[in-house]
Amino acid sequence: MSFFAYDATGDMQAEGVALKTIAGQVGTPFYCYSAGALRAAWQEFAVAMRGMNASVCYALKANSNLAVVKLFGDLGAGADIVSVGEMRRALAAGIPAKKIVYSGVGKKPSELMAALQAGIGQINVESSAELETLNAVAGQLGVKAAITIRVNPDIDAATHEKITTGRKENKFGIDIDLAREAYTLAGKLPNLQVVGVAMHIGSQLTTLDPYRDAIARVRGLITQLRADGHRIDRFDIGGGLGIVYADEQPPSVASFLQLVAKETDGLGCELTFEPGRRLVGEAGVLVSEVILVKPGVSRTFVVVDAAMNDLIRPTLYEAWHDIVPVRRPRPDAATIRCDIVGPVCESGDYLAQNRDLAALSAGDLIMVRSAGAYGAVMASSYNTRPLAPEVLVDGTRFAVVRPRPSIDEMLSSERFPPWMEPA
């Protein structure tokens, strides 16, 4: 089921709300999320996990809007976080601390202390140095920290080089060939409680083969660790399952979990999944208004009011997002080949290049699909452009769940030093 579709009159709807209606009240650009799509994505995991000793911790880095996090929390999700800020968001959204997993390659002592004081359920440690630091912090607080060690299985996830995390040249985790030494160290530190093993091999995976290979390698490690005397009760498999941006055919959640169940059969571990993009990516869109159309000698530029500061994925990852008019074109409408660009002063400021679209004019609205993940969370105020608001639609109702800041609000957060105060 598509939660973003044209209605009988040709207007693009988000569930039961016309995007042009939201644009008229909120202004453009804006992000729009479908609560129905979020619930449907969650349900895929809930159904496929039946009978498994498993849980889902939603990866906030994909989309950390409080309303989105709360929606998943109310459905039973825990949270996968990579900063104290994300921890505060998860807690504010009502997710119990014991259902929060703290990942990340560089956690400062103050951040580890905050996590332990909050009662976080699991810390995924990514280096021997972090083991020492966490042990010291836990000792100061008089607690035992429940940890897994994130291992790097040296598996190529066959995804974009900037979002692969499971190869030995990536910064994440401890090389699987060095993992037993790290567990030996952890077992000697009095303020740590080893509970399992973690991995995460990358993002936007569109084949299951890397998961199969990585799980096999980590399963072998678990056997070795148990032989060494370590108690390994949890296997945190991470996330990374891909979505559709263009013509990808990512595996279904059911087939992914069937593979995991087969490859972990008899292992006796509680499994943790940390999906982010798969839960939110296709549930969100970015809506923008055409400012002007600028014909050129070599190409036509459609200048819109959304820019690379609003959605950086095309520039940063060479990412492809499907873009459609909010008003359905006539079947016989002429098309133009164009670049869809923003007003930011950078040549890299584009949402799409060399696209064939129905002719657009100033004032027309466009919709960028599959923008629910790594869109709003990676946005910036470059060029002093206010962050785009976020809107949640649920059936026939909608609400702004993060307003657009005014420029006065943006300026008010800055200060002159005493010697530069205006007269």
- CA pair distance 358, 343, nearest whole angstrom: 21
8 Å CB contact between 363 and 290: yes
pLDDT at position 167: 42
pLDDT mean across residues, the chain? 94
Dig out the tokens for 28 from the structure.
């453009």
Residue 369 · residue 4 · CB < 8 Å: yes
- Does residue 390 contact residue 65 with C-beta atoms inside 8 Å? yes
What is the domain count for the chain?
2
CA 257, 262, 267: angle at the middle one, nearest 5? 105
Q: What is the pLDDT of residue 171?
A: 53
In a domain, 420, yes or no: no
Q: What is the pLDDT of residues 181-239, one digit of tens each?
A: 999 999 999 999 999 999 998 889 999 999 999 999 999 999 999 999 999 999 999 99
Q: What are phi and psi of 189, to 5 degrees?
A: -85, 125
**191 and 257 together in one domain:** yes
pLDDT of residue 215: 95
Write the pLDDT tens digit of every residue in 375-411: 999 999 999 999 999 999 999 999 999 999 999 999 9
Residue 244 falls within a domain, yes or no? yes
- Among 277, 294, 322, the domain boundary falls at 277
CATH number of the domain where residue 371 is located: 2.40.37.10
Task: Quote the domain boundaries for residue 319.
Answer: 4-33+281-412
Beta strands in 185-333 (DSSP E): 192-198, 234-238, 270-273, 284-295, 300-304, 323-325
At 158 the pLDDT is: 54
Q: Tell me whether residue 131 is in a domain.
A: yes
Of 219, 253, 277, the domain-final residue: 277
Residue among 32, 269, 338, 345 flagged as catalytic? 345
32 is known as an active-site residue: no
For residues 64 and 105, state if they share a domain: yes
Q: Name residues whose C-beta falls within 8 Å of residue 195's C-beta, 6 or more positions apart in sequence.
A: 122, 146, 147, 148, 231, 232, 233, 234
Q: Residue 160: pLDDT above 60? A: no
Examine the domain organization and report whether 208 and 307 are in the same domain: no
Q: Is residue 385, in this structure, part of any structural domain at all?
A: yes
pLDDT classification of 161: cutoffs 50, 70, 90: low
Render pLDDT for 115-138 as a digit per residue (tens, 0 to 9).
999 999 999 999 999 999 999 999
Asked if residue 419 belongs to a domain, the reply is no
d(CA 401, CA 65): 8
Cβ distance 365 to 358 under 8 Å? no
Beta strands in 82-233 (DSSP E): 100-102, 122-125, 145-152, 174-175, 192-198
Q: What is the mean pLDDT of residues 61-76?
A: 98
Based on the fold, state whether residues 133 and 264 are members of the same structural domain: yes
In a domain, 418, yes or no: no
Rounded to the nearest 5 percent, the helix, strand and coil shares of the chain are: 35, 25, 40
Query: Do 56 and 87 belong together in one domain?
Result: yes
Q: How far is CA 125 from the centre of its chain?
A: 20
